[in-house]
Amino acid sequence: MAQEDGDVNQRYWAQIEDDDAIPTTSASENSTRRFDEAADDRFEQTVATELYVPSFKKPEALEISLDPIVVQTIQLHQFKRFVSDPANDGTQADLPSLRKAPKMSARLPELTKRDAHELTRKGCAALGAQVGFQDADAEALEILTDVTKEKLEELCEKLKVFHERRLLNRESAFPSAVQQLLSSVGLQSPLDLRDFYERRVRSYRDRLLADCQDLTNEKR
């Protein structure tokens, strides 16, 4: 899933070399304490906008991990392809289990556009593999990454506007800026996100796991 020397190189997402990865920095042990201290900080008034914005100390590193269920689903797809391969001479493989997911770390506050782009690209690649894609054209993956980036920026901009309106005591029918944002994209409640996750991530993994177990029993 990377492009090297001008050629499209199709590779499975998990096989991206460490050279492609985001520079990592271990999380500071003081991050939690710093966030606790930040909660006590007062709001500072910005003269230009007459808005109050929170003042807090940023952590040295932010740990970002893939969802363990997504990782297991990807491994189950690999397992199913291996067991179903006619070229398989009966070699046994262990059924993937739920394990701790790999981490991707982005340095803060020096999070660059390149870092954000790489994190988004890896996320898109992982989600593509989660639904069964074994490889992807590098150009197609870049398009998905750009579309995702634009959508995330749009959502963040909306959330900023909704939050600023609340700080200016503008009337709103929503209890929070986040819920107003969800409504703007067609979601009536945060529970809709939970239902989506249960249906498209957890239940999908469960069905795939059952299929792999059936295949394993047939091969015995």
pLDDT for position 81: 93
What pLDDT digit, counting tens, does each position of 123-162 carry? 999 999 999 999 889 999 999 999 999 999 999 999 999 9
Spatial separation of the C-alpha atoms in residues 208 and 3, rounded to whole Å: 31
Q: Determine what percent of the chain falls in helix, strand and coil, rounding each to the nearest 5.
A: 55, 10, 35
pLDDT for position 33: 39
pLDDT for position 73: 96
- Mean pLDDT for all residues in the chain: 76
Model confidence at 208, pLDDT cuts 50, 70, 90, reads very high
- The contacts found for 205-208 with CB under 8 angstroms, 24 or more apart, are 205/69, 205/72, 205/73, 205/76, 208/73, 208/76, 208/77, 208/80
pLDDT for position 152: 94
Segment 63-80 mean pLDDT: 91
pLDDT for position 212: 94
Torsion of CA 94, 122, 137, 20, to 10 degrees: -100
- Inform me whether the pLDDT recorded for 3 exceeds 70: no
Model confidence at 188, pLDDT cuts 50, 70, 90, reads confident
Model confidence at 93, pLDDT cuts 50, 70, 90, reads confident
pLDDT for position 105: 63
pLDDT for position 157: 95
More reliable by pLDDT, 215 or 203: 203
pLDDT for position 140: 95
Spatial separation of the C-alpha atoms in residues 121 and 16, rounded to whole Å: 11
Indicate the pTM of the whole model: 0.68
pLDDT for position 54: 54
What pLDDT digit, counting tens, does each position of 12-63 carry? 444 443 334 433 333 433 433 343 344 344 333 333 344 445 555 666 666 7
Q: Which residues pair with 45 in a beta bridge?
A: 52
